[in-house]
A and B are shown apart, each in its own frame.
Chain A
Amino acid sequence: MVAATSRNVAVVGSAQTQLKAAWSDRQHVDLISEAVARALLGTGLRIEDVDFVIDSGSDFLDGRSISNCGFLGAMGAHHKEESRVEEDGLWSALYGATKIASGSASVGLIVAYSKSSESDPNDYWTSLAEPFTQRPVGLDQNAVAGLFAQRYLTRFGVPASALRAVTHRAWAAADGNTFVDATLEMLQDEYWSQEIASPLRRSDMARPVDGAVAVLLASKDVARQIGGSPVWVTGMGSAIDQHFIAARDGATLPAAAAAASAAYRMAGASGASDFDIVEVSAGSTAGELMVLEALGMAEPGKAIDLYADGASPGLNPSGGALPADVVMASGLVRLHEVAAQLGGRSDHAPQGARRGLAHASGGLGMQNHCVITLETS
């Protein structure tokens, strides 16, 4: 398995729509077809060359059951093998890469999207909670983030005010990313002061946005035919923590660590320091610190040091998920970002980057984690 996948599958194309607070004048299908059509551009591949489609979205967010059935045409999936993953699109990419590595297909299209502006995303998060004892007490995504942030900050003695650096850095990066509508001007006083779930404020929470992303994966042979410099999938891993919020550690993310170590093992990487670009998805500022520590980028409680001025240019060059969180798609946006930055298709890539890592989280309170590593030849 390790030898079969490593450098045998490449990202040969990828694209996203702009991520913005509300695409009120577009349907899901409009966003999806834009991302898919643009992912094909420049690859020489046509939709007929795509062997299968794997897509990520949420029936809850879409407001219809088995919603992928209505979106097949927009995904270019007519009369193709298609399957739905009810988790972030990075898992769809993991399954797609595995399928190609197994030799059963040559070209796979991975799609993820959501329009959380069409409903209250907190209803979606609450729907994930166990209904007997967790949902009735008022648990939602914000409350979990607050409870875990308190555990993290108290255990490691990090002041809540330090989290401002995480927000500021993420939004500054997003401000320079034309595919995200977030700007530093949007961080007004109320954004910094509005209490959401103590110790977290509005500025600490991932901001839900609408958008779609598509990634084209191909076998080694197809990638070589396309030419250029393919971006190879080198490692993949995923892991899940237990569901009961109170039973999780809260101040660390062992599932993220397990997902990362599986990906590192497969990639033959010694750790996070092997990667020039690290794009992660987190539900809150404190959550982002925990992800970075789980990936091994900092000792427990020390990830805040990565946010010092000028430190870690390869950390979330896109801004990450805090300024623009496409529920079900933020992880696949990270993969698109890493692939575009490594492949010379991005205007915000760090200089000379050769290896990158994309991370996704899913579930209530970041229960589930997925890591994919990429490398240019």
Chain B
Amino acid sequence: MTNNATSTRETMGSMTSRLSMPYTLTAGKAMGTFLAELGAQRIIGSRCAACATVRVPAQDFCGDCGAETGELVAVPSTGELTGWTVTERGILAFVLLDGTDVPLLHRIVDTDVSSLVLGARVSARWAAEPAGNVMDITGFAIDAESTVGALAPTNELLAPIEQLAYRMELTYEHSYGHFYGSLFDSVKNDRRIRGIRCPSCRNVLLPPRGFCDVCFVPTKDWIDIPDTGTVQACSVVHIEFVGQRMTPPYVYAEIVLDGTATRLIHSVGGLSAEEARSGIVKPGSRVKAVWSDRATGSLADIEYFQVIDGSA
């Protein structure tokens, strides 16, 4: 956390956010074949006829000249070390496999760092249980005895691995800054909603910000905003989805809090399923915040808005 301590009370400084995104990666023909064949402890490269080079992993197109790969070849699992670096994540290395022209990037395993020299003979170490990915080779180890292998034609190739499941996990600590920090601080501690006025267009902006988006002039005066407003637009949510706070049906609404020029996206609740469906909430409906017991310092501290008298 990057909370800025103050003498009076805790100030909202930042928010942790985690993104977890699932992917289905599509390997393509050459890469898919390379990955599938690793499971059978075979390394597949590709030959570019145009520039007369063999590269591994096999590629559908030559990275140097762009020509379409004509032929897949079986590459020996032995070669020489042409570069390495020691990192906190292990030793990464360039291994020029026998008969190829472009090194394979992989790891060094079962080897003492002090024994690494450029040009050393190495051979592949294989995973006991193949998983259908590049780590079916666990890495390469120094192997002074290894004989120099030769390329061989590929006969029966395994079907390419078409797809790989992948998940990307990213973590953030987003700073609130002065404007959001002040708003969330007063929401959390005083149940007070604060906006800011643009001196040029006179609009009151919520959430508050340093510059008016429309006028591009610095904003000026802080304004207390009541927790009542008017629905500008709404939609009844009937489906369930991940991350929902309320049980459908409920109403999602654009609410213009009194005195502001901005729209707050929130929900209108306290309704029976019948009422939610019946159109009781509509543009012009007057609403008021129902505060929750939570004091997290976000607009989710408002449980929902409820319809009050005086609707247009």
**Closest Cβ of chain A: how far from B57's Cβ, in Å?**
5
**Which residues in B have their C-beta under 8 angstroms from that of A184?**
none
Contact A24 B14 (CB under 8 A): yes
Contact A33 B211 (CB under 8 A): yes
- Which residues of chain A from 55 to 96 have any CB-CB distance to chain B below 8 Å in the complex? 60, 63, 72-74, 76, 78
Contact B177 A27 (CB under 8 A): yes
**Closest Cβ of chain A: how far from B155's Cβ, in Å?**
24
A147 close to B (CB within 8 Å): yes
A27-B180, A147-B83 known; A139 vs B175 contact (CB < 8 Å)? no
**Which residues in B have their C-beta under 8 angstroms from that of A27?**
174-177, 179-180
B258 close to A (CB within 8 Å): no
A185 close to B (CB within 8 Å): no
In the assembled complex, the Cα of A30 lies from the Cα of B213 at a distance in Å of 12
B125 close to A (CB within 8 Å): no
B47 close to A (CB within 8 Å): no
A243-B63, A246-B94 known; A25 vs B175 contact (CB < 8 Å)? yes
In the assembled complex, the Cα of A22 lies from the Cα of B174 at a distance in Å of 11
**Which residues in A have their C-beta under 8 angstroms from that of B102?**
244, 246-247
Identify which of B35, B83, B105, B172 contacts A137 (C-beta below 8 A).
B105
**Which 9 interchain pairs have the tightest Cβ spacing?**
A73-B213, A146-B85, A27-B177, A24-B2, A138-B89, A63-B172, A242-B63, A76-B216, A246-B103
**Which residues in B have their C-beta under 8 angstroms from that of A147?**
83-85, 92-94
Q: Flag A128-151 by CB within 8 Å of B: 1 or 0 each.
A: 000111101111101100110111
Q: List 13 A-B contacts (CB under 8 A).
A: A26-B177, A115-B175, A131-B164, A133-B31, A138-B92, A139-B92, A143-B87, A149-B85, A150-B83, A198-B84, A242-B64, A246-B105, A247-B55
In the assembled complex, the Cα of A323 lies from the Cα of B246 at a distance in Å of 49
In the assembled complex, the Cα of A30 lies from the Cα of B178 at a distance in Å of 9
Most buried by B among A29, A132, A198: A132
A24-B14, A29-B211, A47-B216 known; A197 vs B86 contact (CB < 8 Å)? yes
**Closest Cβ of chain B: how far from A110's Cβ, in Å?**
16
For A, the interface residue count at a CB cutoff of 8 angstroms equals 56
A63-B17, A137-B106 known; A131 vs B209 contact (CB < 8 Å)? no
Identify which of B176, B179, B211 contacts A73 (C-beta below 8 A).
B211
A24-B175, A60-B170, A131-B166 known; A78 vs B85 contact (CB < 8 Å)? no
**Which residues in A have their C-beta under 8 angstroms from that of B176?**
27
A120-B171, A244-B102, A246-B102 known; A73 vs B212 contact (CB < 8 Å)? yes
- B contact residues, range: 35 or more
**Closest Cβ of chain A: how far from B12's Cβ, in Å?**
11
Q: Which residue of A lies closest to B55 (CB)?
A: A247
A123-B170, A132-B25, A243-B63 known; A154 vs B2 contact (CB < 8 Å)? no
A195-B86, A197-B85 known; A29 vs B174 contact (CB < 8 Å)? no
Contact B105 A26 (CB under 8 A): no
B312 close to A (CB within 8 Å): no
In the assembled complex, the Cα of A25 lies from the Cα of B164 at a distance in Å of 40
**Closest Cβ of chain A: how far from B30's Cβ, in Å?**
11
**Which residues in B have their C-beta under 8 angstroms from that of A197?**
85-87
In the assembled complex, the Cα of A301 lies from the Cα of B170 at a distance in Å of 39
A196 close to B (CB within 8 Å): yes
A356 close to B (CB within 8 Å): no
Q: Which residue of A lies closest to B205 (CB)?
A: A73
Identify which of A23, A146, A199, A246 contacts B175 (C-beta below 8 A).
A23
